[in-house]
Amino acid sequence: MTNPARILLVDDDAAIRTVVAQALRREGHDVQSVATLGQLRAELRAGLPAVLVTDVVLPDGDGLEMAASLATEYPDLPIIVLSARNTLTTAVRATEAGAFDYLPKPFDLDTLALAVRGALARRAGAADEQPVDALDSSLPLIGRSPAMQDVYRVIARVVATDLTVLVTGESGTGKELVARAIHDLGRRRRAPFIALNMAAIPRELIEAELFGHERGAFTGAAQRSAGKFEQAAGGTLFLDEIGDMPMEAQTRLLRVLQSGEFTSVGGARVIRADVRIVAATNKTLAAQVQSGQFREDLFYRLNVVPIALPPLRERRQDIALLARHFLDQAARDGLPRKSLTAEALALLEGHDWPGNVRELENLMRRVAVLGRDAVIEAGELRGALGEATGRPAALPDTDLDEAVRAWVRRIAREEPAALDNGTLYDRLISDVERPLIEAMLDRHANNQLRAAKAMGLNRNTLRKRLDDLGIDPALRSYHADKER
């Protein structure tokens, strides 16, 4: 029978130690847990574990600094880092420290168990992961949502390599920011980052833009010009809107990716392509392959490491953080400093954001310039949203689950004591019930019998709820008649 693997857990939260230890023991592991780095050192003197699982913020020091030290001292010890500091900085610092994996809190216990199994497999002979170079403190990506944590983890793993990356996502989600982060955090960061938007270049000039041209290569080519591959030598070439690249240019690009060499337009000298490729698109390239608009072999060459960016409507919990960041950025750029009320933030969190993060950034700069007061109210923001979209601003269609979560976040910001005073359930039911009843009364011309039937209630129950909520159908009918 195989001896259970010894797992050492370091976390100052007793509840987390208990839950994690129980989960890993169910996996058949021998789990020991401690609360401080001092206790960790004592355990290490007693014997090396098979896997170390550690928090970052500990009472007597930084878990990442300890992880970096241990990775040097014990290079065969897999370290899994847990952290509530769910930022790209933490993810990359964990990788830089030599961590086998990084899991943002709150994490799924099954995910942790899978990470431990992977760490044990590596310990048994799988290849070590490469640490990244020193970390640049200026990071362009913001967000603590689970969707962004997935993005951070992929970036953290890929920055130390030269693998080709394909970033996908709707317009405005920040695809170029991801490309810049990969460049700025990677070993090519001291060389140029060159971006080229395929959709912005006339199709007959794309090859010259990419590979350069010699004097006289075509009408107007009065002198030799280096292309983007040469300009990005040693660095990163970001090919934006790759889905708009013409088929003939796709063939030339594929040849360069396969051979690592190219010639300029009208030239004969072979030039080595020393660049890392990061491509991006808001299109579904797999569908374009099926329709014959994109080369299948080029797609596979580009899609080595895929990174899918979520639309802003799928990471609503990041909206307040992003909004404050953009307002701070506007103030640093010399615009008036502004802040948002809780109601304004709730309005932002409910908006559908068809333009994603770019739309939010533009809106924050607009209100920084045009806002009348230092504190932006929901009413003023609603007007600005209407101007931006060309239609009256209102809360968009969204699922009830997300609406309730946004409501709880608003209460937490405005009235944190209300979360613990025993009234939250009744308040939520009232806030949901009122618009439902009013909507059904409107639909049925304030006829209580038909409204009750539509909601599956009897008329007496509806009358009681109308009294409790202070809704007067007769008064509503009067106002409705006046409006007609």
Q: What is the pLDDT of residues 68-81, one digit of tens each?
A: 888 888 888 999 99
Helix (H, G, I), strand (E, B) or coil at 308: strand
- On average, the pLDDT of the chain sits at 84
> So what's the pLDDT on residue 395?
42
> So what's the pLDDT on residue 258?
93
- H-run or E-run covering 200: none
Of 37-51, 196-210, 362-376, 413-427, which gets the smallest average pLDDT?
Answer: 413-427
Q: Is the pLDDT of residue 57 over 60?
A: yes
Overall size of the chain counted in residues: 484
How many angstroms separate the first and last alpha carbons of the chain? 83
In angstroms, rounded to a whole number, what is the distance separating the alpha carbons of residues 6 and 443? 64
Q: How confident is the model at residue 477 (pLDDT cuts 50, 70, 90)?
A: low
Written as six digits, the tokens of 430 are 């009232």
Cβ–Cβ < 8 Å for 360, 311? no
> So what's the pLDDT on residue 219?
77
Q: Tell me the mean pLDDT in the region 138-146.
A: 72
Say what percent of the chain tops pLDDT 90: 36
**In terms of C-beta density within 10 A (0-12 exposed, 13-18 middle, 19 or more buried), how is residue 3 classed?**
exposed
In angstroms, rounded to a whole number, what is the distance separating the alpha carbons of residues 364 and 361? 5
CA 322 to chain CA mean position, Å: 11
DSSP 61-120: EEHHHHHHHHHHH-TT--EEEEES--SHHHHHHHHHTT-SEEEESS--HHHHHHHHHHHH
Q: Is the pLDDT of residue 90 over 90?
A: no
Q: What angle do CA 48, 53, 57 make, to 5 degrees?
A: 120
Q: Is the pLDDT of residue 129 over 60?
A: no
In angstroms, rounded to a whole number, what is the distance separating the alpha carbons of residues 439 and 27? 52
Q: Is the pLDDT of residue 145 over 70?
A: yes
With the CA atoms of 136, 139, 143 and 148 taken in that order, what torsion angle do they form, in degrees rounded to the nearest 10?
A: -70
Of 121-130, 139-148, 365-374, which gets the smallest average pLDDT?
Answer: 121-130
In angstroms, rounded to a whole number, what is the distance separating the alpha carbons of residues 102 and 100? 7
Number of C-beta neighbours around residue 111 at 10 A = 11
Torsion sign, CA atoms 19, 22, 25, 31: positive
Say what percent of the chain tops pLDDT 70: 88
